[in-house]
Chain A
Amino acid sequence: MVENYDTDDTFLARWLGGTLSEEERLSFEKTDVYKQLRIINRESQLLEGPIIDVDAALKIVKQKINTKKQKPKVIRLWYAVTAAAIIIVSLSMFLNASKTYTTGIGEKMSVTLEDGSVIDLNANSSLSHKRFFWTANKEVNFTGEGYFTITKSKGFSVNTSKGKVEVLGTVFNIKDRTHFELKCYEGKINFVSNKTSPDSYILTKGMQIKIEDKEIKEDTFVEQRPDWKTGVSKFVEQPLSKVLEELTHIYPITFQMNTIDANRIFTGSFKHNNLNDALQTTLTPMGVTYQKASNGNVIILSE
């Protein structure tokens, strides 16, 4: 008779594992092989494995780690993370890079944007916009004074310190200095103030808003284009302080006020092409005497 344990190559293992069928087990237990293996199994289970000192081994491993370079993989991973971060940052900087146009004191500049809109910058002004994909979101940031001739299109807007001017094909002038002044010369614009509760003003041709001391005033005007475009600054019943501020934007000068009352009202104009003429036409009628300091840039005022 051929025994199971000879033909079935997992039989003996299943016997030890206790997974033989009752019938298989009973017939196997009658054999001599069973009697021998029972003893071999019992004796084998009396054997013991080696004694291992885990704590000592852990100490040895820590020593081995410290003699080798620490965590080289982690460092390499950090290199990769850093490199990826640099790429992402520089890419976003590249894509977010802005183009800025700035005029200094007395300078004027005309900027033509990608969509054909033209912005004339008055002195001491700055215009910036995204360098790439600007047409996807036609937004420009602006400070100073500028005359905007915007090609008819959707979504052009100008961010100023006082709020946002939203445009739909139009011509307007922004003056964002100590005081804010927005004049619409053609078409229609929407001004959204950036005060905490934004007010919205729609301006059409001949309408203007002024912001003085946070107060927004609506008004009308008649001129066809801003005076500064013709190289003149005009004032109608404006405080002297405004006139002086305007002078410092056009000419590289500062004023030493002393005891001068800057609130006196001025009506008149000055030209942008001659400092001496400008000083004379503004200060002399007001009864203010002036004197250039030795370096020529400081104008000392007195009654």
Chain B
Amino acid sequence: MIEKEPSICEEENYNQLFRKYYESVTKYIYYKCGSLEQAEDIVQNAFVKLWQLCATISFSKAKSYIYKACNNLFLNEVKHQKVVLKHQQTVVKKTNNESPEFLIEVDEFRSKLKNAINQLSVKEREVFLLSRVEQKTYKEIAEITGLTVKAIERRMSKALRELRDALGGEIRI
């Protein structure tokens, strides 16, 4: 006999899925739309829908359903607005803002970096941030976005080229 998958209609199982995926999918949407409030709203609505469809979605398909549903909601709801990422840089290596690497102050460089990331297209930005900030592999990003690894690598390379174009001039060689 085939072992039965846990039912998403069981609250316990549903909560488990929620805790497992809510944070990562919210970040993913946030990197697309740039508004945490909006991202949370989108992801929460997708989870409400998951509950309503709990009888028709198998436990193992829940992850891909959530990512797909969020992406669709994002495409429907978000008019591609310019993103304002509010990353915090908690790691401060040097108390002194001078660095021999940069032609400008470290703080200024970092602010320019954020700016440059914000200027990337949605496609490149989501891949770049999932890779660099969330430390996801290209394979994982490919699964999330439903693209091939090759396509992810292309987007990543393009993002890096654009960031170098924007910031290369500030770095001492």
Q: Which residues of A contact B (CB under 8 A)?
A: 5, 8-14, 16-17, 32-33, 35-37, 39-41, 43-50, 52, 54, 57-58, 60-61, 64-65, 68, 71-74, 77
Say yes or no: is B53 at the interface (Cβ < 8 Å to chain A): yes
The smallest beta-carbon distance between B41 and chain A, in angstroms, is 9
Is B113 in contact with A36, judged by CB distance below 8 angstroms?
Answer: no
The smallest beta-carbon distance between B69 and chain A, in angstroms, is 13
The smallest beta-carbon distance between B73 and chain A, in angstroms, is 14
Is B18 in contact with A61, judged by CB distance below 8 angstroms?
Answer: yes
Q: A37-B160, A68-B52, A77-B55 are in contact. List 18 more A-B contacts (CB 8 A).
A: A5-B157, A9-B154, A10-B156, A12-B156, A12-B161, A17-B138, A32-B168, A33-B164, A44-B117, A44-B133, A46-B89, A46-B110, A49-B30, A49-B87, A54-B19, A57-B18, A58-B18, A71-B52
| CA gap between A54 and B47 in the complex, in Å | 12
Say yes or no: is B105 at the interface (Cβ < 8 Å to chain A): no
B45: chain A residues at CB < 8 Å are 64
Can you report 11 A-B residue pairs in the complex whose CB atoms are below 8 A from each other? A8-B157, A13-B138, A39-B101, A41-B160, A44-B132, A47-B133, A50-B27, A52-B22, A52-B23, A57-B44, A65-B48
| CA gap between A71 and B54 in the complex, in Å | 8
Contact with A along B153-172 (1 / 0, CB 8 A): 11111101101100110010
Is A12 in contact with B89, judged by CB distance below 8 angstroms?
Answer: no
Nearest first, the 8 closest Cβ-Cβ pairs linking A and B are: A13-B156, A13-B153, A10-B153, A12-B157, A47-B87, A12-B160, A44-B132, A13-B157
A49: chain B residues at CB < 8 Å are 27, 30-31, 87, 129, 133-134
B36: chain A residues at CB < 8 Å are 50, 52
| CA gap between A54 and B18 in the complex, in Å | 8
The smallest beta-carbon distance between A40 and chain B, in angstroms, is 5
Q: Which of B91-105 contact A (CB under 8 A)?
A: 91, 101
| CA gap between A49 and B91 in the complex, in Å | 13
- Total A-B residue contacts, Cβ distance less than 8 Å: 146
* Closest chain B residue to A60, Cβ basis: B44
Is A61 in contact with B164, judged by CB distance below 8 angstroms?
Answer: no
B30: chain A residues at CB < 8 Å are 49-50
Report if A47-B55 is in contact (Cβ < 8 Å); known contacts: A36-B164, A36-B167, A61-B18: no
Contact with A along B1-38 (1 / 0, CB 8 A): 00000000100000100110011001100110000100
Is A9 in contact with B157, judged by CB distance below 8 angstroms?
Answer: yes
Report if A61-B154 is in contact (Cβ < 8 Å); known contacts: A40-B163, A52-B27: no
Say yes or no: is B65 at the interface (Cβ < 8 Å to chain A): no
* Closest chain B residue to A45, Cβ basis: B132
Say yes or no: is B82 at the interface (Cβ < 8 Å to chain A): no
The smallest beta-carbon distance between A49 and chain B, in angstroms, is 5
Contact with A along B108-150 (1 / 0, CB 8 A): 0110011001000000000011011110011000000000001
A68: chain B residues at CB < 8 Å are 48, 52
A71: chain B residues at CB < 8 Å are 9, 51-52, 54-55
Is A73 in contact with B52, judged by CB distance below 8 angstroms?
Answer: yes
A44: chain B residues at CB < 8 Å are 113, 117, 128, 132-133, 163
B131: chain A residues at CB < 8 Å are 16
The smallest beta-carbon distance between B127 and chain A, in angstroms, is 9
The smallest beta-carbon distance between A137 and chain B, in angstroms, is 33
| CA gap between A65 and B45 in the complex, in Å | 9
| CA gap between A40 and B9 in the complex, in Å | 46
Is B160 in contact with A16, judged by CB distance below 8 angstroms?
Answer: yes
Is A58 in contact with B55, judged by CB distance below 8 angstroms?
Answer: no
| CA gap between A203 and B128 in the complex, in Å | 94
Report if A72-B52 is in contact (Cβ < 8 Å); known contacts: A13-B160, A40-B164, A49-B133: yes
| CA gap between A145 and B14 in the complex, in Å | 65
The smallest beta-carbon distance between B138 and chain A, in angstroms, is 6
Report if A73-B157 is in contact (Cβ < 8 Å); known contacts: A47-B87, A61-B18: no
Report if A40-B52 is in contact (Cβ < 8 Å); known contacts: A54-B22, A58-B18: no
The smallest beta-carbon distance between A41 and chain B, in angstroms, is 7
| CA gap between A45 and B133 in the complex, in Å | 6
Is A37 in contact with B164, judged by CB distance below 8 angstroms?
Answer: yes
Report if A43-B109 is in contact (Cβ < 8 Å); known contacts: A14-B153, A36-B164, A64-B45: yes
**Cross-interface CB contact of B54 among A11, A33, A74, cutoff 8 Å:** A74
Say yes or no: is B76 at the interface (Cβ < 8 Å to chain A): no
